[in-house]
Structure 1
């Protein structure tokens, strides 16, 4: 096996912020912060959604604390993206 070609595979603490659940697993993700979990310091990575809070796994609908980028864009610029009424009326008259 060649040396120095494999990513660093280590324990990482994932935190589902919607359900306030922690998962300790191994990953190659690079994190900026660390947290103490069960007396040991681990690299920390927050998640918006995981199997603990996803409606498919929980069987219940739950409003996410953050909305997606597309929904946010449509909320801000949805009125500008559509065709205006005059242009739509002239196209249907032809």
Structure 2
């Protein structure tokens, strides 16, 4: 394995500002912005637009799409008549 060709793999905080949610994980990405985590250590922070704390599917705010109507419309156009 060649030396000095791989990026550094270190701990960073991925933060969702909208949901006031953060997770400490490891990544090759880094940032000049830093924050103090709950363990008292300072880590680079990467802000994300959406996370599991703000995504509609995980928060239960997802809207149900009328798939039955789509299926019936498809059958009327391309399928056999159902009796």
TM superposition score category, shorter chain reference? 0.5 to 0.7
Give the length in aligned residue pairs: 61
The CA RMSD measured in Å over matched residues stands at: 1.2
- 1:16-55 to structure 2, matched below 5 A, reads 16-38=16-38, 39-55=40-56
Normalising by structure 2, report the TM-score. Answer: 0.67
SS at 1:23 equivalent: strand
* Cα separation, 2, equivalents of 1:57 and 1:19: 12
Q: Report runs of 4+ in structure 1 exceeding 4 Å deviation.
A: none
TM-score after normalising by structure 1: 0.60
- Kindly state the Cα deviation for residue 32 of structure 1 after the two structures are TM-superposed: 1.5
Q: Going by fraction, where is helix more abundant, 1 or 2?
A: 1
CA offsets 1:14-52 (integer angstroms, 9 cap, x no match): 111111011000011120211111211001111121111
CA distance in 2, matches of 1:14, 1:56: 19
User: 1:1-94 maps to which residues of 2 (within 5 A)?
Assistant: 1-38=1-38, 39-61=40-62
